[in-house]
Homo-oligomer: A and B are copies of this chain.
């Protein structure tokens, strides 16, 4: 594996800051790193060239890295694979050295400036990739590492995949080369001002006119305005438009059409199309989410995407062979969302864990007992925040979550690939389960990641509120994940509908023998709940040693199956209605998906990871698995009763969590380093690989526009607004 400068966050990044020369640590007691600080240059905002008090950040991090119980390179390779690491290195080298990709001013720009910058960077990425012959995968690497959802983003993430998935062969031949070549720039326009979740309620119509063989696209009301599509507002020349297909008097529901929006000559909107940007958002300032109204806009019949449903020239409707065929794409999108949840959560743990190692607050000898930097000093040294049990709990449980999500993301990709292979030969039997589980997982994992990211930001104290901490824009950009591709609450209904149906079928069948070969992940854990003795079973845990991987997974299976069986019974007896049970349904989906996360992680440990990792690394991953699962149990232990007896089993869980935190503590920094996020990507003063946190905060403040140029000595506006107040003649109390 080739490592290029800066690519590997845990490799020798110090070349970037030439005056720090980290040397490997041979034993904890030795003097660590030469005491040279690169900030010893007087600057207007640091005229005495002061350095931070106490142990320097790079010293603390070097000590942490020396403590790791496993080889961080092994884990990096496991997480990313050689090919991806090499691609990352290539793109990173371009980004770090090209001023167009410099992020120094990201946090100072207005939205208008940022959007224009994002256009420039988008163009630059395309030019570079064309010049070097790099494909869409490399374009995607650029988007990821520059870390800016731009106006061209949706062309690659939604427009092209939809053309691939929903065009018939003739349409593919026409549109794909244009899209590949960027002679057209596309977006995906489904959501309307009045309808998001309820896709079947969309109002835009596509009425077929047999005489001219055209569709007339029309917005009948204000709420029919297309709304939210990224890239629509100011960029796209074409859109995939989701509209109700009207043939004669009959409404055939929503279908997809390709519509040209803007002139390819001068980019002005075409007649009948009103279009614009919907305005500023929490995050995504670099994307032109748009609105659009159609006033009887005509498009040729051939612009309906016809791989599945078709309209013949005479207006005859040809039904698709199965309405579920397009679900495959949805599963892939959701698998990507789960994997993104892992990566984003890992990014937040990286910043918070590194900063917690550097940051010292109060002097607590008990907490600092393993800190060689404290032992070395004559005078009292404050305790690294990472040494406080509360902070360890906050950080390490989230580190464990990031790994759990990653292994489930991997498992979902395998499921998706199997599913696509099935669909290719006409088998659709696996679709309902994959769809149900992926819906609930999207909901659970994005909730988990967004909550964790915000708590990790808070774990950095006040400095986590600064944009240059790397948190605020990153979190704001992540937040739409809980809403788009299915609102997190609504999705859980789809999951539980499948579980109830499956449980009913198992119950009917249980009198007979069920062929074990037909059991899937879901049916395997639900089946025992059809037995009358199921509810009387108890968790076989009387001491910490009983908390094996298997008993832990069993607790999650038992809880989820109990909840499904209870709701099924309530629905059957009419004690509950489906609508009335919404709050329960949400909890059941969460329980099911927590089981899936825990079982997938467990299975990976027992199979792939067992085969592919060193014993040291396997031991660390097993601890992360246990911490992840036991923390989930402790958070909501009431829901595991009566299978788990709170007395005396809750204290056993609690004690095991403490032991795991102590065992994992020395690996904390190595576990975040392994994700291999570069400083360029993180763009964080607090999360720097070299620990120069305080120097970086001061350097970033020096660039603030309110401190420089015309504002340098006195801020613009002082003379106009404050001088008259301050210099007003002295009066008695107001």
Contacts and interface: CB of A to CB of B under 8 A. Distances in A.
Nearest to A39: B222
Interface string A214-226: 0000011111110
A409 interface: no
A572 interface: no
Contacts of A366: 577, 579-580
A706 B123 contact: no
Nearest to A708: B276
A489 B389 CA distance: 12
19 contacts: A39-B222, A45-B276, A108-B111, A110-B110, A116-B717, A129-B734, A135-B734, A181-B730, A181-B734, A193-B694, A201-B361, A201-B362, A277-B706, A277-B707, A279-B467, A389-B582, A393-B583, A637-B638, A646-B646
A554 to B, nearest CB: 19
Interface stretch (A313-321, A333-341, A457-465): A457-465
Interface string A693-709: 01101101111111100
Contact of A461 (B53, B108, B116, B483): B483
B288 A706 contact: yes
Given A276-B701, A291-B45, A461-B483, A388 B579 contact: yes
Interface in A83-115: 107-113, 115
For the complex formed by this chain, how many copies does it contain in all? Answer: 2
Contact of A711 (B223, B224, B234, B732): B234
Interface string A458-480: 10011011111001100010011
A376 interface: no
Interface in A176-196: 176-178, 180-185, 191, 193-196
Contacts of A466: 278-282
A377 to B, nearest CB: 15
A482 interface: yes
Given A50-B224, A53-B222, A111-B705, 17 more contacts: A44-B274, A46-B222, A50-B219, A110-B111, A130-B734, A197-B361, A228-B462, A267-B722, A267-B723, A276-B702, A276-B706, A279-B466, A279-B700, A280-B466, A366-B579, A458-B488, A462-B483
A111 B285 CA distance: 14
A59 interface: no
Nearest to A262: B714
Contact of A489 (B122, B284, B390): B390
Contacts of A361: 195-198, 201
Interface string A437-463: 000000000000000001000100110
A66 interface: no
A2 interface: no
Nearest to A288: B706
Contacts of A715: 115, 119, 234-235, 288
A479 B453 CA distance: 14
A113 B706 CA distance: 10
Nearest to A121: B721
A544 to B, nearest CB: 15
Interface string A264-277: 10111100001011
A726 interface: yes
A55 to B, nearest CB: 11
B181 A707 contact: no
A367 interface: yes
A279 B462 contact: no
Nearest to A151: B722
A222 B707 CA distance: 18
A279 B181 contact: no
A221 B704 contact: no
Contacts of A219: 50
Contact of A704 (B45, B196, B274, B276): B276
A113 B110 contact: yes
B717 A48 contact: no
Contacts of A180: 733-734
B222 A704 contact: no
A391 to B, nearest CB: 8
A734 B185 CA distance: 15
A507 B471 CA distance: 47
Interface centre among A471, A586, A705, A722 (most CB of B within 10 A): A722
A472 B704 contact: no
B472 A487 contact: no
Interface centre among A360, A390, A720 (most CB of B within 10 A): A390
Contacts of A468: 279-280
Contacts of A582: 388-390, 393
